[in-house]
Structure 1
Amino acid sequence: MKFIDEATIKVYAGDGGNGVATFRREKYEPMGGPNGGDGGRGGSIFVIADRNINTLVDYRYTRTFKAERGENGSGSDCYGKGGDDMILRVPVGTTISDKATGQMMVDLSVDGQKVMMAKGGNGGLGNIHFKTSTNRSPRQCTKGDPGEAFELYLELKVLADVGLLGMPNAGKSTFIRSVSAAKPKVADYPFTTLHPNLGVVRVDANRSFVIADVPGLIEGAAEGAGLGHQFLRHLQRTSLLLHLVDLAPFDDAVDPVQEAKAIVNELKKYDQELYDKPRWLVLNKIDMLEDSAEKVADFVKAYGWDGPVFPISAISGVGCQPLTYAIMDHIEQTRAQRELEAAQPQPAIE
């Protein structure tokens, strides 16, 4: 199934039905009073987050959604039937914005979260509402209100705890295969990852986290070069970034230090908030180096890095287990800190 993480759709809530002006016409009451009923309300359009859906592909090819119109009222005090509501299901992590203004309307980050996106129009009034002591035979009635209509921009940001960052062919897909049950495509050429992959890493029976692998970045990604810039949004919800660097590139002319600096530069140009996230350095393919400890030390010095460093071999699994346990500890500490901050009393607003 093709991975689609953005879509533009048009939604039209149902119009309200019209009220009517009718009068009773019975055998012994030829001049009966008004009995025109109201029109039914139009159907509304709701969006609900569903964890069983992983992509917005359903909205790539069907882009217009119209809820049912309310029925018109009729005589004998009969009200029109309301239009049925329409429910659109989207993946958890979808944000919805007004296409015209760019303003975000809702962030569907919880499974089962339901939001009305377009309200159906109210039904018109029948002439039974206009009867007064001086107007016994009102002929007024009103039309139903039109339903709301919007052009919406849907954007999916996957819900992951950890995001993988790196050049194409840095070993991100191999790493996620090594530590989780996810099976992204792996090959000996760059750009094998064409869409985000998610993997659940279970370190103990009741301890796990979700890791996201996105297509590799190249220099100029912030301006649209390559594929990775299209999917950087999926790293915005993560609490930790792992910057994977290939210490043993196939091409001897490639400088891993310069490539690592280029990636961080692209990240900063794309989103300062994403750049400010906690970031760990993961040096991959140490199994292909004879003096790996020396090469790691040289890289860290040349790169000017003073944060956490984890030398690993994704293909053989060397160093992967200590890394996953360290990630789990970091995530649990971050969650505990957030819960503590949320429990703090908020200062009163004068």
Structure 2
Amino acid sequence: MATPLIELLKLDHPIIQAPMAGGATTVELVSEASKAGALGSLGAAYLSGEQIEAAASAIRARTDRPFAINLFAPVPQEAATGDGARMLALMARYHAQLGLPAPQAPGPQADPLPEQLEATLRARPAVLSFAFGRLPAATLARCRELGILTIGTATTVREAQVLEQDGVDAVVAQGAEAGGHRSTFLDAFETSMIGTLALVPQVADAVSIPVIASGGIMDGRGIAAALALGADLAQMGTAFLTTDECGISDAYKAVLPASRSEQSRVTRAFSGRPARGIANAFMRDADAIAADILPYPLQNALTRPMRTAGGKSGNINVLSLWAGQGAPLARRETTANLIQRLARETEAARTRRN
């Protein structure tokens, strides 16, 4: 099952635990994934530089295996075009239900990336992965100097080719089934919703760097399929959300295996940027006035107090229940048990195919 990227990263299994920002990827989850022979990934897009360095140190205290730190690439600021008052009125209704103060229209958001990048370079993880676009050439050059592998994220063949031209070491091919934020950065989101089964082999044929399959992969059957399609590794997020070490609430974890695939939708309701999750009350209400949703990252800032309160109280009607279309296949287990099971299932699937 050896592939160039497995050998380069000295992994035991062709698995990346996906970087899920917002508290899902705890120190415990990342370190346990890496200890079990996969590549653990810290979703650090919402962390300060100090928090990134502290988390990296804590992971290293638990394991000497390689891990990744993931950040969001710069996103062009969009102007708000809808009726902000209508969105504030909707938020006021939810704030009142949660006992929160009246919401305030968010002001300009500071760009956290420069501080995050400097902290990541000081931490020197094995991998710096990123989504939403491209990183500056100078950053990629510094990573090469420090021996940090870089992995970009693409939703189309053209995006993968651009990332290869930029000099990344590998590319994630993110299929339409994937949970969480879409990483589209060249074309419209609507025209970049290509399924994993179609996207991965096209990207593998179009670039010379290793390809990582992402989207809808929940078990060993999916991993074996990804490898057969030309991927070096499979990146899995939703499968790890229900592990004991994941940082999401128990209420959120309970929703995933009980859900149905048809409940999975792409929405801008929570952050202003298209992302896939399980439909709930706030998603439906916000999508009903979709034209008034603020652009990213303003909508993300506006909904943060509501989402934080929902996480503490276990109110799934106000949480961003990010998950892929394979969520009904999720199981409650430890990270170590999950990876052991995935290894057995992958080998069984490859044996059946051969």
TM beyond 0.5: no
Q: TM-score, normalised by structure 2?
A: 0.24
What's the TM-score once normalised by structure 1's chain length? 0.24
The structure with more helix, counted as a fraction of residues:
2
Give 1 or 2 for the bigger CA radius of gyration: 1
Higher relative contact order structure (alpha carbons within 8 Å, sequence separation ≥ 6): 2
